[in-house]
Amino acid sequence: LAATQRRIHAVASVHRALYREPLAETVNLGVFLDELGDSLRALVSDGRDRRTITVKADDFDLPNEHAAAFAIMVSELVGNACKHAYRVDDPGEVRILFDATPSGDWRLAVEDDGVGIGHLNGGERGLGSHIIQAVCKKLGGQHAWEACYPGTRFMMWTGSKPRRARSSNAMTMVGEILD
């Protein structure tokens, strides 16, 4: 039920962004991810502020037809991190990092410092993993899961494949780990 609620809120975020500028053909992804982060914070809040969601995103013009898929994927990744990365009563942060390059390529990372995935393929059985794979295909991006010790990092990118992080347990920005 919580996953369905996140997906609905993600689509609602897209509709709000499109309604503000109905003639625009793109959505500013930096602003959009900030707003989506606010919505997700409200959804995962348990009144005790156990989960924090941090967004650091460059401005980037994402075509409107991709905005809903992008929002649902990010919501799915954040929801999974909040649910699986940390024990119920343990505090934890989930970071959404988006970096646009001058060439027009971009890189997305959603990462946490939780218990980790224990393998590099991510969860491959649930609806969420199918959503993630479908969105990557729709956006023409590649993706990978990375165990960070502690934590997990999901990466999606266009252009050349990013390098792995040098320091696997450091809090990183996408531009520093994915040059």
**Which residue type occupies 34?**
D
Distance CA 76, CA 7 (A): 7
In this predicted structure, which of 54-58, 91-95, 166-170 has the lowest mean pLDDT? 166-170
Residue 10: C-alpha distances to residues 30, 43, 55, 92, 169 (Å): 15, 11, 15, 22, 29
Confidence (pLDDT) at 168: 39
Confidence (pLDDT) at 11: 64
Non-local (6+) Cβ contacts of 28 within 8 A are: 59, 60, 61, 62
Q: What is the mean pLDDT of residues 34-52?
A: 79
pLDDT for 60-90, tens place per residue? 999 988 888 888 899 889 988 888 888 877 8
Confidence (pLDDT) at 20: 66
pLDDT for 83-109, tens place per residue? 888 887 788 999 999 999 989 899 999
The proportion of the chain whose per-residue pLDDT surpasses 90, expressed as a percent, equals 27
Report the mean per-residue pLDDT for the chain.
78
Q: Does pLDDT of 154 surpass 90? A: yes
- pTM for this one? 0.79
Confidence (pLDDT) at 125: 65
